[in-house]
Structure 1
């Protein structure tokens, strides 16, 4: 019988966390059954998830203290009613509260997974306290990068870094084989490290001037609007 893993995510809107979970599930589908607890009402993309035989549970949205309490109460009820072999929480520092409940209910495998960059905290000691609690209630602590792992968990035997890789074969088209212009599609937001991406573009352009870049999304960092960009940056198109 497959082991049941409950993933706690915000919602299904085509974001990186959802994509990561589904890509992982496709590799493990023979051994594990992934199920998802999401915040708020049903989203259109949930049809695609259910087509993979993944059950989705809708919990209250986490808005303010009352919303958080309602969410945690609903999660407690769900974990009491269903028998999961593991809980895998993707809710940032909310993982402390969710995995604390899972621990109290005797769920042996509790995974805390953070996918975002380090935050700015109000108090210096706040980070240390939260890191301690994350390690206390999780049996495995995973970060998407070394800075993220260090910020959310610190160090320890249960702390791991797991990079969010993708199957690049899905994006390797005939255009690549025929030597046509290569297109990189991304999003200009702080967590996507646009400065690093621009440095990569610079090095690629030095090696091959046939590269072309299209950036899709809102320029949240004002990378393109606040500066006069030299080649190859001035060839960027923003949609």
Structure 2
């Protein structure tokens, strides 16, 4: 008698921990990979000639970003954390920078305002692709006096005042029509009362512990210069990119 034919082996079940074979890129991925970075001539940066304090270098880079045609160079990312330590980030406008720190504003009852009340520490990020530059700033945040907030608000446009008068930032909105009605009323008041108060409007000042200047390089030899405050003085260090 002939021997029974061997039973074919049972295929092994796939190991869920083993990644599957790569699939063809999606249209989104193809579009993403087609984007170029810093497709322009980038400026040089000699960190050895950088000033002892980060503020003059920030002011110089800001002026150079404006001269280079950078769109909205005064906007920045603001990162905060809530009471549980969960991070959040959004884009806001820089209102000033001086020896006290970097200034921005919002409503005290907004999400960022609540975060800063619970954890008064934040980080800022500027990105100016026209020159391949980034600046990162982080440190404790203090609330400026109310008169500073009033002066800040009334130095701005009618639209800025109207937006502040609407208030209720980060609250749930039942319908867009409700916002339209509140905004129309706020615009009318802002035109009639250019000095109208917005009590929740708050100016915050981030006093930097650390400021990093990043200059991109086409050959990926990026220059990273960091300033760290120690005992009231600044220490400068280069970082590997």
Which of the two has greater strand per residue? 2
**RCO (CA 8 Å, sep 6+): is it higher in 1 or 2?**
2
TM-score of the aligned structures, taking structure 2 as reference length: 0.23
Which of the two has greater helix per residue? 1
- Which one has a bigger Cα radius of gyration? 2
